[in-house]
Amino acid sequence: MRSVTVVHWNPRRRWESPPARFGRCLRRRVNNFGDLLGPLIVQRIRAAQGLGDPVHDGAVRLLTVGSIMRMAQRGDVIWGTGVNGKSIGAEYSGLHLDIRAVRGPLTRDVMERSGYRVPRVFGDPGLLVGSLWSRPELAAGRKGSDVLVVPNLNDLGSFPPTPHSLDPRRQISEVLGRIAASHFVLGSSLHAIVVAESLGIPARLVSSTVEPAFKYADYYAGTGRPDFTAAATVAEAIRLGGERPPVWDKDALLGAFPSDLWRAASPARSAPTQSTERLYAREMAQE
């Protein structure tokens, strides 16, 4: 069977407060919004380029958004993926990965040490959100906010909830919409920063209390800002304001997209106006 699976991290975890009457442990998907972007972006690009059925016999795996290089298996295609600081020592040699682009030069260094020739095409595919969706389209119906605070999934307990805070596990359309409707985005969620910057919204990283700095440094180095400044607190982030805008080559990242994995089905067209939930559900149905 021919298929292309967009690999992304979304495990099931124990439900925080399972009702006792169920008499069993309930588990549900994490649904961290940044980890759900990959399938949406791939679907949007496929629609825009008029790409249909997979070319190759059998199953092909594509890794895109996220620090998920450790999830790579033999023969996988890599487009914009990054290495996680928790798994820098992972061994990738012998996997025969097809690397088209990586998130940044730090990931490139790791993969070259594993014996790969990695093109100098950098950029988290989340940077394409602002090209694939318009800001008004994402923000439609959302109440604007001067400041939006989005913690990393694992930092939720370290960021006191306020009316300006947003849980990254909310529905993906809500998270994207709230970011698009805001004027300044800050926090330790890397993809809140990435999406905001893709839409031209000032953003400032707040240092994570638990996440290694590697993925953040990789992203900023890949967008021309190796000397970025992370704030220690929300208050400091507000005082500092937005980091300077990213410098990256959109055409190079789009040009590296593995469109050769699919056949041309129709002339390139504008992406259909479907909700992010519908696009995500469609991608999941194909797995």
Judged on CB neighbours under 10 Å (0-12, 13-18, 19+), 232 is exposed
pLDDT of residue 100: 98
**Residue from 215, 200, 209, 180 nearest 104 by CA:** 215
pLDDT of residue 25: 58
Backbone angles phi, psi at 67, to 5 degrees: -90, 65
pLDDT of residue 170: 93
**Residue from 278, 116, 112, 253 nearest 194 by CA:** 253
The residue assigned the tokens 């980890």 is: 35
| pLDDT tens, the chain, 287 aa long | 789 999 998 877 665 555 545 555 566 787 899 999 999 999 999 999 999 999 998 899 999 999 999 999 999 999 999 999 998 888 899 999 999 999 999 999 999 999 999 999 999 999 999 999 999 999 999 988 899 999 999 999 888 888 899 999 999 999 999 999 999 999 999 999 999 999 999 999 999 999 999 999 999 999 999 999 999 999 999 999 999 999 999 999 999 999 999 999 866 554 444 555 554 454 344 33
**Residue from 49, 30, 4 nearest 264 by CA:** 49
Residues 29, 137, 147: CA angle, nearest 5 degrees: 75
| Single-letter amino acid code for the residue at 185 | V
pLDDT of residue 285: 40
Token readout for 12 is 């099931």
**Residue from 205, 211, 190, 206 nearest 85 by CA:** 211
**Residue from 194, 256, 196 nearest 220 by CA:** 194
